[in-house]
Amino acid sequence: MNIDLELYKIFYVVAKNKHMTKASEELHISQPAISQTIKKLEDQLGGTLFLRSNKGMELTEEGKMFYEYVKGALELINNAENEFTSFKDLSKGEIKIGCSTTLTKLILMDALKEFHKNYPNININITNDLTSNLINSLKLGKLDFVIFNESNIKESNLNLKTIKKIKQGFIYNPDYFKDNINTFEELNNYPLILQKKESNSRKLLDSILKDHNVELIPKMEVVSQELITEFTNIGLGIGFTIIELAKRNFPNLKELEINKSIPNINIILATNKNVSLTFASKTFVDILSK
């Protein structure tokens, strides 16, 4: 059966008012048009819904049963519309973001502050993990979007957008080391602190140095760039990290001159082509992209 919702709405108003004139005034539809609608619905159902008299419109026993179901259905639809409006005006909703801890601090923090100030009722969930794991979650629809360092990730079902450029490079504490390094090869003469090979940052570094026919052998491999800055600060070695992060955490840390040979990297925002962003996520992305 093809369901015409307008038929049910008109039936509901007539049954509620029990009078054609009152229903006509509420619906702003002529009485003949209402009569035709009721007749069409009765023909479609194959039964009588109203007993018509001079006193008004009384429901048949079948009509009373039908009314209760239609009333419940229309209330559900009305609730759904109200709920949708709540999501649309951002008085309710959720954002699911995938991002590393470091980029959360460097890229998301200001946007999070502004968004929460304007839309305090939106729940914000941030998942910190390896980029490869976050991308998999995005493809499965478990995340709204993912923010990550530029990499060789190429997924046909993802939209990739550059939202910022940042500088990565080698840092050192001048209390323990001097900048006597002129080539990438010479880095292996020093204790190096790098992220683990699985990380996006390390993959990018290895890719850059591969063009120079250099493979670095680190003394330490750690999970986070935060640890790299801390270990570098206490003199455990020369670290490779995001320069803004290093200087924010420890202003005394210095850059190696060879950083001039390392290009800036793009920060990418990835969304799933097959999944539309929620109203809340779209608004957040707009703030982030300013």
Burial per residue of 201-223, b for 16 or more beta-carbon CB atoms within 10 angstroms, e otherwise:
bbbbbeebbeeeeeebebeeebe
For 146, the domain range is 94-165+267-288
Query: To 10 degrees, the CA torsion angle through 152, 155, 158, 160?
Result: 20
| pLDDT at residue 248 is higher than 80 | yes
105-129: per-residue pLDDT in tens?
A: 889 999 999 999 999 999 999 999 8
Q: Are strands 56-59 and 50-53 parallel, antiparallel or unpaired?
A: antiparallel
Q: Are residues 10 and 143 in the same domain?
A: no
Q: Are residues 108 and 70 in the same domain?
A: no
Q: How many domains does the chain have?
A: 3
145-156: per-residue pLDDT in tens?
A: 999 987 666 677
Distance CA 218, CA 145 (A): 32
Q: Are residues 157 and 274 in the same domain?
A: yes
Distance CA 254, CA 252 (A): 6
Average pLDDT, the chain: 90
Q: Are residues 154 and 179 in the same domain?
A: no
Last residue of a domain, one of 88, 113, 130: 88
Last residue of a domain, one of 88, 118, 148: 88
Instruction: Read off the CATH number of the domain in which 71 is found.
Output: 1.10.10.10
Instruction: Read off the CATH number of the domain in which 119 is found.
Output: 3.40.190.10
Q: Are residues 223 and 144 in the same domain?
A: no
253-279: per-residue pLDDT in tens?
A: 999 999 999 989 889 999 999 888 889
